[in-house]
Chain A
């Protein structure tokens, strides 16, 4: 009994580092050996930069990787958006990105059908992806980049 209780205490300690979720890139398709198209290779490069590391948090740290793993799903890799029964607005050449606070608020809290990412990205990740969108995809809003302090202030 006592031995079991002690082992359980050890388990509790062991569990904590497991939550840090190691990147699984070595288990990813890069090891599959199948020939990949240029598109697949670029997708893999972007998404495997700390991609697929946790069921609850995004692991990517830089704006380009975060964009490729999240925004691109709806707004598309080139930022041109898409249209079906409804539409996803283009982020490419979008004048609403001029002020960082607007995209920051939407990434955090969502807008209409778009979910917010407040619980899945930390302040630095939100700032990184906002600044990526504002300075790529044909946007040239390099002035007044979003900071982690700006992001923190916009969290609800």
Chain B
């Protein structure tokens, strides 16, 4: 987009405007929504029938894609070896707990000091019900799941220039937005302003539906009464015994709700990939990856940094170095190679693939994203504000606060997600030191929860461009780059093929990694049994 081009000239402009209205997370959601259907095409466990006749596969990367491929290929009779850069499996599926150490690119090291049982997921943190592939692996590996709360009507919606920067409750914004537009539309219909657009009969049904949708009274007003308070909440809740009569609350005007832009956060929970029910593994997102790693066992060799991939007529040779022994290049060899290394890294490796695949590997930039985890001395969001899990939204650079969907009612400490940003805010956060990111997240979050000032205990932060094994959050495709490169990226290139979220239409989700791995090993297997 050049400075002089008219607005609305491209999908990127649309995304930029969505981002302006609703922030980076919404923009990212819209990117996935515009680019793709987030529906999983998973149809149950794959069957790789036929004898691979002792063929071997070298898998690069023990993230979700690599481990799914390893488990399925081993089951089908292949000899499988996995090389992993880190000292543990999971890749971007990663949970930080007390006692962990994390050194980011640039050398800054964080000692995580969360209390026992508390955690922070810098990467994936929620699983949609429609991501049936990753859910099936969790079930098959006996990983306990619990609900992840995406929408919490009692969480906050905050705008720095709305309502004197005082946060409102999600239920207040939603009820008053729905009530306000329902009143406007119902009265327009009643006054015949939609004549020609709806029939008289449909108009009557429309008015009836708007009364239900918006909690309108007999005169089609969205007014202060117990019916609207049953949506937005009461000034004094209904009680028991004497003095139990509820006191209704005063709705905000539609004008104020519109200009607050709080409505921009309401669509999030309606998106297919954020609809309830969502799930999280009990104990942290990496529980699924750790179960996969346990299943893979000694197929995985850790602390191996791949430095080159060369194929010939009979197989593939991968050059790697062990951590702590830089410059001492070793080699591994197999009949085939499945590389699940992020393209941000793969694009830097020497490898002899066809020029279309090489061009595809070079064509995908990796997103900036930042998350901050904050341990608080007490669960004030539950104790003071009756917020049990879910997400508060803000136009501050932290963009959201997420409350833990476990440990409800605990008297102990709690770990919040104190920031989750994409776009410029994510770059700006990433460029700060880990401590400074935490300090700012605390400072900004205190505008929504003043309790932060007294209750903040310690924190951790991850800017994904500084994660040594990822160099970015996820591959960012556009319609144009997909049209030119996607099929070339996924195609079997003699003896090399790729998998990972970047080789899917579900970018940045574990489901994309699962489905791309299953598709890759299925195609590889067809090739092997047919030769």
Contact B20 A73 (CB under 8 A): no
Contact B85 A85 (CB under 8 A): yes
Report B27 CB to chain A, min CB distance, Å.
8
Any chain B CB within 8 A of the CB of A61? no
Contact B399 A88 (CB under 8 A): no
1/0 contact trace for B410-447 toward A, CB 8 Å? 00000000000101110110111101100110111001
Of chain B, the residue at the smallest CB distance from A70 is B427
1/0 contact trace for B299-322 toward A, CB 8 Å? 000000110000000000000000
Report A58 CB to chain B, min CB distance, Å.
5
C-alpha spacing A33/B497, complex, angstroms: 54
Any chain B CB within 8 A of the CB of A127? no
Of chain A, the residue at the smallest CB distance from B469 is A85
Contact B424 A47 (CB under 8 A): no
Of chain B, the residue at the smallest CB distance from A40 is B436
C-alpha spacing A119/B23, complex, angstroms: 15
C-alpha spacing A31/B468, complex, angstroms: 33
Residues of A contacting B254 in the complex (Cβ-Cβ under 8 angstroms): 4, 7-8
Any chain A CB within 8 A of the CB of B50? no
Contact A57:B347 (CB < 8 A) given known A11-B258, A29-B440, A115-B368: no
Of chain A, the residue at the smallest CB distance from B426 is A73
Any chain A CB within 8 A of the CB of B251? no
Tell me which of A52, A73, A83 contacts B463 (CB under 8 A). A73
Count how many chain B residues have C-beta atoms less than 8 Å from C-beta atoms of the other chain.
73
Contact A14 B259 (CB under 8 A): yes
A71-85 interface with B by 8 A CB criterion: 71-74, 76-77, 82-85
1/0 contact trace for A112-156 toward B, CB 8 Å? 111110111011000000000000000000000000000010010
Residues of A contacting B428 in the complex (Cβ-Cβ under 8 angstroms): 47, 51-52, 58, 69-70
Contact B187 A55 (CB under 8 A): no
B423-479 interface with A by 8 A CB criterion: 423-425, 427-428, 430-433, 435-436, 439-440, 442-444, 447, 463, 465-472, 476
Contact B345 A86 (CB under 8 A): yes
Contact B3 A73 (CB under 8 A): no
Contact A120:B348 (CB < 8 A) given known A69-B428, A73-B463: no
Additional 11 contacts, C-beta under 8 A, given A14-B259, A34-B439: A1-B184, A7-B253, A10-B255, A19-B20, A24-B160, A44-B436, A74-B471, A82-B106, A82-B466, A115-B476, A119-B12
Report B421 CB to chain A, min CB distance, Å.
8
C-alpha spacing A28/B396, complex, angstroms: 10
Contact A113 B436 (CB under 8 A): no
C-alpha spacing A85/B326, complex, angstroms: 12
Any chain A CB within 8 A of the CB of B19? yes
27 contacts between A and B (CB under 8 A): A1-B187, A1-B188, A15-B259, A19-B20, A43-B432, A43-B433, A52-B397, A55-B24, A55-B27, A55-B424, A56-B27, A56-B424, A70-B431, A73-B427, A73-B466, A84-B469, A85-B341, A85-B468, A85-B470, A112-B344, A113-B364, A113-B471, A113-B472, A115-B365, A115-B366, A115-B476, A119-B16
Report B24 CB to chain A, min CB distance, Å.
5
Contact A84 B105 (CB under 8 A): yes
Tell me which of A24, A57, A86 contacts B424 (CB under 8 A). A57
Q: Which positions in B face A, CB cutoff 8 Å?
A: 1-4, 12, 16, 19-20, 23-24, 27, 85, 105-106, 160-161, 184, 187-188, 191, 253-255, 258-259, 261, 305-306, 341-345, 347-348, 362, 364-368, 395-397, 399, 421, 423-425, 427-428, 430-433, 435-436, 439-440, 442-444, 447, 463, 465-472, 476
Contact A120:B365 (CB < 8 A) given known A29-B439, A55-B20: no
A34-69 interface with B by 8 A CB criterion: 34, 39-40, 43-44, 47, 51-52, 54-58, 68-69
C-alpha spacing A87/B414, complex, angstroms: 36
Report B491 CB to chain A, min CB distance, Å.
20
Tell me which of A1, A55, A86 contacts B423 (CB under 8 A). A55
C-alpha spacing A126/B188, complex, angstroms: 49
Q: Which positions in A face B, CB cutoff 8 Å?
A: 1, 4, 7-8, 10-11, 14-15, 18-19, 24, 27-29, 31-32, 34, 39-40, 43-44, 47, 51-52, 54-58, 68-74, 76-77, 82-88, 110, 112-116, 118-120, 122-123, 152, 155
Tell me which of B395, B439, B442, B466 contacts A55 (CB under 8 A). B395
Contact B19 A123 (CB under 8 A): no
Q: Which residue of A24, A40, A85 has the most chain B CB atoms within 10 A of its CB atom?
A: A85
C-alpha spacing A44/B431, complex, angstroms: 11
Of chain A, the residue at the smallest CB distance from B191 is A1
C-alpha spacing A111/B153, complex, angstroms: 43
C-alpha spacing A55/B345, complex, angstroms: 27
C-alpha spacing A55/B427, complex, angstroms: 10
Contact B184 A4 (CB under 8 A): yes
Contact B436 A43 (CB under 8 A): yes
Residues of A contacting B184 in the complex (Cβ-Cβ under 8 angstroms): 1, 4
Contact B347 A112 (CB under 8 A): yes
